[in-house]
Amino acid sequence: MATDDTQPADGTVYLVGSGPGDPELLTLKAKRLLEDADIVLHDKLPGPKIIDMLPDDGCIDVGKRAHGDRTPQWEINERLVELAREGKSVVRLKGGDSFVFGRGGEEATYLAEHGVPFEVVPAVTSAVAAPAVAGIPVTHRDHASSVSFVTGHEDPTKPESAVDWGALAATGGTIVVLMGVTRLPLYTEALREAGMDPDTPVALVERATWPGQQVATGTLETIVEARDEVDISPPAVTVIGGVAGTRESVVEFLRND
Amino acid sequence: MATDDTQPADGTVYLVGSGPGDPELLTLKAKRLLEDADIVLHDKLPGPKIIDMLPDDGCIDVGKRAHGDRTPQWEINERLVELAREGKSVVRLKGGDSFVFGRGGEEATYLAEHGVPFEVVPAVTSAVAAPAVAGIPVTHRDHASSVSFVTGHEDPTKPESAVDWGALAATGGTIVVLMGVTRLPLYTEALREAGMDPDTPVALVERATWPGQQVATGTLETIVEARDEVDISPPAVTVIGGVAGTRESVVEFLRND
């Protein structure tokens, strides 16, 4: 079916975030839509517990393809339009929130361009939840009056990097890096070169709310070593700023772990 | 009862965010804890629909006091400790997420200092959800590779302001301002003075997911006029950056409104 047809579709696409991974951190609306959907398109990022909850039929894993490749975004976009034109109620399920580094914005634009009604269902973003369950508030009156979210996917040593680490450091607020395990040495160095205090507390939270959650703490100078000692692997969230130091004072009474 | 007693409490305090206001955007965990709690401490920020769901007994509104004052934070902290020491299961319910400008970090520290076990229950933050339900993703490959959250409570013309608007502008990412209706003229001017393009798209989303949701759009130069035309009042979220311009291209097919 051609996807350049501009006739409005009968079905609806729901751009639904699954939250950080604990099925109890799904919203009531996400749960209802997952139960009522004709079809759910997902990848592995919602985490094993939520993936296991999905019905075997009526689910398409768009994260995997033959030979280990990922389904390209344009193919997912076309699939969403086709299914909606068949009159289906379609849930596009993403890990975290669809509109925080989730490409939900691109999907929304494509759907609107092709006459497909859609609804956005916001979710608990891992950028807030991963620090929170480790006892770290991303803002705090004593430490940070702003917080910035950024991805660690880009190489900060490349001139075409869209992320200005110096400007992020200059805000004086908390910096939360998503998908930033591998490039941790590069951006912690970029922040130190930008003049950020090497003693700034840093925490890494791996698999927040998933089975096997792990936390490593240190400073801008020591966190790479701490990462390797604790053996932190993706997916993990990095929290940089005074707030990361608060975990130590609360962890004895924190019941999230 | 003295709150400097360091003997561990028998009860537990749950620091629970209610999300932006739509009861369906509560997490499953928040709903379960609200149903099971011995007592819920809340203010008005969860919004009318969620407040109406709470049982009449077993609820304390800590937002209001005689003569229109708010209950001071130290008094809420002490109350939480006292209730937990009575062995109660206590929910401290906040609008949005407790750890995003919600003073949850201060409550966590106080609880730990006084030997009270606590659990953090992350929620859908209004900083992401308010733009999202208006069709605006806070990050987007074409527009923003970072997003910063800040409050509009502080006066940017005062030298003691902790918010560096120039640094936020320099990140090149989206800026989301919470509680920023009244001071909109001040910080939009601060951003223009910092060199941000006056044609940068800006959107205001009032009462996101509440009854009476309203949206106003404009640019860094025109948004104050747009605010007044649409009559945007608190509570509202301001989104500044290229992403705010995407609403126009999707709103015809957006089914959140």
pLDDT score of A127: 98
Q: Do the Cβ atoms of B139 and A101 come within 8 Å? A: yes
**Distance between CA atoms of residues A45 and A70, nearest Å:** 12
First vs last C-alpha separation in chain A: 49
As a whole-number percent, the residues of chain B with pLDDT over 70 amount to 96
Domain with CATH 3.30.950.10 in chain B: 127-250
* Residue A89 Cα distances to A11, A15, A118, B28, B180, angstroms: 5, 11, 10, 22, 37
Mean pLDDT (chain B) is 93
User: Which single residue is written with the structure tokens 């709103």?
Assistant: B251
Per the CB < 8 A criterion, the answer to whether B214 and B206 are in contact is: yes
Tell whether domain A127-253 is in CATH 3.10.20.30: no
B242 inside 8 A of chain A by CB: no
pLDDT score of A1: 46
Check whether B25 has a pLDDT greater than 90: yes
Express each pLDDT in B236-255 by its tens digit. 999 999 999 999 999 999 99
Mean pLDDT computed over A60-87: 89
Check whether B119 has a pLDDT greater than 60: yes
Which residues are paired to B237 by β-bridges?
B178, B205
Q: Do the Cβ atoms of A250 and B27 come within 8 Å? A: no
Domain with CATH 3.40.1010.10 in chain B: 12-124
Point out the residue among A124, A141, A252 whose CB comes nearest to the CB of B122.
Answer: A124
Check whether A125 has a pLDDT greater than 90: yes
**Distance between CA atoms of residues A223 and A206, nearest Å:** 14
B61 inside 8 A of chain A by CB: no
Express each pLDDT in A207-255 by its tens digit. 999 999 999 999 999 999 999 999 999 999 999 999 999 999 999 999 9
Check whether A156 has a pLDDT greater than 80: no
pLDDT score of B5: 55
Of A166, A204, A213, A212, nearest to A183 by C-alpha is: A204
Mean pLDDT computed over B106-121: 97
Express each pLDDT in B188-237 by its tens digit. 999 999 999 999 999 999 999 998 999 999 999 999 999 999 999 999 99
Domain with CATH 3.30.950.10 in chain A: 127-253
As a whole-number percent, the residues of chain B with pLDDT over 90 amount to 82
pLDDT score of A56: 80
Q: pLDDT confidence of B157, banded at 50, 70, 90?
A: confident
Check whether A33 has a pLDDT greater than 50: yes
Q: Measure B249 CA to nearest chain A CA, in Å.
A: 7
Check whether B6 has a pLDDT greater than 80: no
- Locate B243 and state its tokens: 């992403």
pLDDT score of B154: 75
Mean pLDDT computed over B123-128: 98
Q: pLDDT confidence of A140, banded at 50, 70, 90?
A: very high
* Residue B207 Cα distances to B48, B101, B204, angstroms: 11, 17, 10
Mean pLDDT (chain A) is 93
Check whether B181 has a pLDDT greater than 50: yes
**Could you tell me which CATH class the domain B12-124 is placed in?**
alpha beta
Check whether A18 has a pLDDT greater than 80: yes
**Distance between CA atoms of residues A83 and A164, nearest Å:** 40
Active site positions of A, annotated: 43, 64, 179
A217 inside 8 A of chain B by CB: no
What ipTM describes this predicted complex? 0.94
Q: pLDDT confidence of A6, banded at 50, 70, 90?
A: low
Q: Measure A228 CA to nearest chain B CA, in Å.
A: 27
As a whole-number percent, the residues of chain A with pLDDT over 70 amount to 96
Q: pLDDT confidence of B2, banded at 50, 70, 90?
A: very low
What residue of A is the nearest CA neighbor of B20?
A: A122
**DSSP secondary structure string for all residues of A5-42:** --SPPSSEEEEEE-BSS-GGGSBHHHHHHHHH-SEEEE
Q: Do the Cβ atoms of A119 and B255 come within 8 Å? A: yes
Tell which B residues from 160 to 199 touch A, by Cβ distance under 8 Å: 162-164, 167-168, 170-173
Per the CB < 8 A criterion, the answer to whether A96 and A102 are in contact is: yes
Q: pLDDT confidence of B52, banded at 50, 70, 90?
A: very high
CA angle B191, B195, B196 (to 5 degrees): 60
A219 inside 8 A of chain B by CB: no
Q: pLDDT confidence of A2, banded at 50, 70, 90?
A: very low
Q: Measure A163 CA to nearest chain B CA, in Å.
A: 7
Express each pLDDT in A183-216 by its tens digit. 999 999 999 999 999 999 999 999 999 999 999 9
Beta strands B146-151 and A146-151 are antiparallel
CA angle B203, B132, A164 (to 5 degrees): 75
Number of Cβ pairs closer than 8 Å across A and B? 241
Q: Do the Cβ atoms of A103 and B141 come within 8 Å? A: yes
Check whether B93 has a pLDDT greater than 70: yes
pLDDT score of B142: 87
Check whether A182 has a pLDDT greater than 90: yes
B76 inside 8 A of chain A by CB: no
DSSP strand E in B80-169: where? 89-94, 118-121, 146-151
Q: What is the CATH number of domain B127-250?
A: 3.30.950.10
